[in-house]
Amino acid sequence: MKENEVNKKEYKEMCDEVQKEAHKVVLVTGGAGFIGSNFLEYFCKKYPYYQMVNLDKLTYAGNLDNLKECNSLRNYVFVKGDICDNDLVSRVFHDYKIADVIHFAAESHVDNSIKNPRAFVETNVLGTFTLLDNFRKFGTGRFHHISTDEVYGTLGKEGYFTETTPYAPNSPYSASKAGSDMLVRSYFHTYGIDVVTTNCSNNYGPKQHQEKLMPTIIRTALNEQPIPIYGDGKNIRDWLYVVDHCKAVDIVFHEGRNGETYNIGGNNEHNNIEIAAKICEILDAKRPRVCGKSYKELITFVKDRPGHDRRYAIDATKLSSELGWKPEETFESGIEKTVEWYLQNLRLR
C-alpha cells in the first residue's frame, strides 16, 4: 500500500499495525531499484518478523513492478518519497518507529552523472546526510550504508581494492558516493551511532535497469541493433550476482562490527568484450537469429566515455574471514540465470 494514497486515519492504523506486528522496523531506501528490490524480496521472506518500510522516490530507475513478490506480504510497506525531503524522512522515522536503516537509494549511472552531476550530489550526498541526521535523532539500531568499489578509482593490471585502499573517485557519481561514505564515517566517529558500510563490485542479475551494460547487450542484440561497447572493450570489472550481494548485506547488517567497512566482490573479473561475447553465445543457443548468424556480429565499438576507469577488482577477504560469506553463484550460472530472466521479461523496442 502506498502511504501517500491513504487518508490520515488509515495511515495511522497502518503505522500502528506495523509496530504491533514487528520484531523490529527496518527502513530500506531505494527498494524499487535493481539491488533494493532483489534485497527486499529476499529479506522480507527470510525475516517475516521484521517489518520492512520501503522509501523510494520512483525515479526512472525505480519500478514497482520489481516488487510484485512483496506486495502481498504482511511485513512490507511502501512509502513514496525523496530521501532529500527532511520533513518526510522525519515523519517516516517518527511514525513508523524506525529502528534500523539499510540505505540503497542512489543515483548510480556514470554516464548520467557526467551529464547532470547536480542530481548525484543532491541524492547521494544530501540524501545520505538527511537519513543520517534523522537516524541520529530517532534510530535505535544500525545504519547500513551501501556503497561501491568505484570510490577507490582505478587499478592497473594487478592488485585489488581492500578496505584500506585510499579513495580516488574519477567521476561525479563515484565522487558523490565517496562523499556519502565519508558522512557515514563522520557520524560514527562524531555521534557514536552504529554504522556499517559495504562497498560492492559490479552487480548483475534480474531487474537491472536497461541502461546498464548487460541489459543493454541483451536488448540491443534481440532488437537486431548494434551492441555498443565503449572504447576497446577491455575495461575490466569484478562481477557480483545480485542475490549473492543481498546475502552479504544480510550478514554484514546482522553481524558486521560497528564502524567497519566490508568489501563485497564476486571474484569474477571479466572485460566488457568478454561479457558481450558470453551473452551472445547464450542468446545464440536460446534465441537464435532468423538470419542464422551469431549475435556477436552485432558488437560495435563506440567512443569511450570520459573518466572511464580501466579495472576494478575487490578483495573480499575481510568479509570472508570475519563473517564467513562467499559468493554462491559462479559467473557461468549467474549469467545464464540473468539472460533467461531477461528473455522472459524484457519488452523489446
Looking at the chain, the number of H-run helices and the number of E-run strands are 12, 12
Report the distance separating Cα 294 and Cα 292, nearest Å. 7
Report the distance separating Cα 250 and Cα 256, nearest Å. 10
173 is catalytic: yes
User: Each residue of 278-291: b (16+ CB within 10 Å) or e?
Assistant: bbbebbbeeeebee
Task: Choose the catalytic residue: 149, 244, 269, 329.
Answer: 149
Tell me the DSSP string of 77-135: EEEE--TT-HHHHHHHHHHHT--EEEE------HHHHHH-HHHHIIIIIIHHHHHHHHH
**Which residues on neighbouring strands pair with residue 89, listed in sequence order?**
none
Q: Say if CB 207 and CB 104 are below 8 A apart.
A: no
Tell me the DSSP string of 327-347: --S-HHHHHHHHHHHHHHH--
Torsional sign, CA 332, 336, 338, 339 = positive
Task: Choose the catalytic residue: 100, 150, 238, 329.
Answer: 150
Q: DSSP class of residue 161?
A: B
Tell me the DSSP string of 217-256: HHHHHHTT--EEEETTS--EEEEEEHHHHHHHHHHHHHHS
315 is catalytic: no
Helix (H) or strand (E) holding 281: helix 272-286
150 is catalytic: yes
Task: Choose the catalytic residue: 42, 76, 152, 173.
Answer: 173
Question: Catalytic site residues?
Answer: 149-150, 173
